[in-house]
Structures are given as structure tokens and as C-alpha cells.
Amino acid sequence: MERIPADPALEAQPNFESMAYRGWLNALIDGGATRENAIAQMTEGWRLERQERIDLWQQQVEEEARELQERAEHEKAEKEAEEQEERREAEKKKPKINDFDSETPVADVIIPRPSQYAIQKIKNMEYVELWYFSPDGCREAAITSRSTSDSDDAFGFAKVDGIVALKTIASFKASQKALQDHDLSWQKTLLCYAGFIRREWHDRLAQNQGFNIGIINNALYNTLSNDVWETEHDESLKLVRSS
């Protein structure tokens, strides 16, 4: 339907006796109507035609109003969806704490935490001395962490997979007090075995020659056990001679 540019109800009735309507008026008179009846017919015809256009105008106004409302509702829905998405993204970025059981107290034993250096080594599947997970190593990590409260916020450059990246300094700073696995004093035989095979396991992995570290090699264990016993025997003899 062609759009109606203005409200037909505002139109004034034409002057049907003017020159613009002279032909139509004369045609009606020639058809047998009086002048008064001809003007009345012309007026009624114009009124009916105008009423049709008024009805179409009202439909057009209602249709345009409905389209405007639908457009406004659509824009409002889009804006609300964008705001909801922004709130969702902002909520994701907020620091969150996991839920907890209000009836559960702290455990009887608190497991010491190793240093960030040792943890990062484990994440990278790299060799790290067992000392870092010993009581001495965890105690050293706790002392170092307390003495440098902002250590977790300090960053340095490190090369990761050929790319230079920022990492916390604590994650790649080794302890000067760390001991080699075979130098640990407790459970020497087992620790020596674990230390040697862990070092060998990492070296072989780098050469794509990895083995199952969970299978105990009794021959290697016995050899290391004898070495430890001989070392302790020699140290005991030295102590006896010096006394």
C-alpha cells in the first residue's frame, strides 16, 4: 500500500462550484441531476473517499507505531543482553573463593608447602632435588616467603618454548641451601636410589628414551645400598681414628 503523506481528516471540503470541478459538475447536470443534487452527489462522493483514506491513515499510523514499539523493544533487548554479558564477563574476572564446610575444623596436620621454584619445576616436568620437598626445604620456602612478602608480585623474563615471557621471580630462583639427592642424610639408601633414577629418567626423557620409573631395579638398588654402607663405614672409621 502506498504511504499516505498526511492525515486526510485535516483536509477541507473542496469548492465543487469552482473551475477545477466544472467538468464533473456539468456531466452530472447533463445526466439529469439538478445543480443542487449534483453538488450534493459530489460532496458525498468526496466524503466517502476521504473516509476510506482516513481509515487507511489510521491503519498506517497504528502499523508505524507497532513497528516503532517492536524496534524499541528489540533495541532494549539487545542492550539488556549486552549489559548482561558485560556483567557476566565482569563476574568471571572477580576473584572467587571456593565453598567450604562450616562444620569442618582445620586438619590436625598442615602439610608444608614447597617453594614456587620446586612447584614450577614439577609443572614443567623437569628434574628438581628432593630437598625442596623435605621439612628443611619447606621450612626454607616459608621463611623466604615471609621475608619477601611481595615476591609473588615480582616478575622477571624467562624463555618458555622459545618465547620470552614474564614469570614470577620466585618460580625460577633456586635455593642456595638445596642439597643433592644423594647428600640427604635421612633414609639414605632409598633417597640415593630415587635421586639417581629421577635424574636418569629426566635425562632419558630429553633423549626420547624414557623408561618406567615405577619399576624397581633391585640390582641398582643393591649397588647403591652397598655404596652407602661403605661410605658410612669409612666415615665411622675416620671418627674412631680421630678420637
pLDDT at 148: 53
From the number of C-beta atoms within 10 Å of its C-beta (0-12, 13-18, 19+), residue 234 rates as: exposed
* Cα 217 to Cα 206: distance, rounded to the nearest angstrom: 21
Give the Cα-Cα-Cα angle 8, 12, 14 (nearest 5 degrees). Answer: 115
- Asked whether 26 and 39 are in contact (CB, 8 A), the reply is no
* Cα 118 to Cα 131: distance, rounded to the nearest angstrom: 10
pLDDT at 232: 55
Q: Give CA 62 to chain center in angstroms.
A: 46
- Asked whether 165 and 157 are in contact (CB, 8 A), the reply is yes
Give the Cα-Cα-Cα angle 220, 226, 230 (nearest 5 degrees). Answer: 145
Q: Is beta strand 163-168 parallel, antiparallel or unpaired with respect to 155-160?
A: antiparallel
Distance of CA 99 to CAs 63, 88, 213, Å? 54, 20, 37
pLDDT tens, N- to C-terminus, the chain (243 residues): 688 888 888 888 989 888 988 898 889 888 888 889 988 999 999 999 999 999 999 999 999 999 999 999 999 999 999 999 999 988 888 877 666 667 777 666 566 677 888 888 878 878 777 777 776 777 788 787 766 544 445 555 555 555 555 555 555 578 888 777 666 654 555 666 677 777 777 777 777 887 887 787 878 767 766 666 566 546 545 654 554
Give the Cα-Cα-Cα angle 174, 177, 181 (nearest 5 degrees). Answer: 85
The overall pTM is greater than 0.75: no
- Asked whether 156 and 130 are in contact (CB, 8 A), the reply is no
- Asked whether 155 and 166 are in contact (CB, 8 A), the reply is yes
Q: How far apart are the first and last CA of the chain?
A: 119
Give 189-233 as a DSSP string.
HHHHHHHHHHHHHHHHHHTT----TTS--HHHHHHHHHHHHHHHH
* Cα 53 to Cα 7: distance, rounded to the nearest angstrom: 8
pLDDT at 236: 47
* 186: three-class secondary structure by DSSP: coil
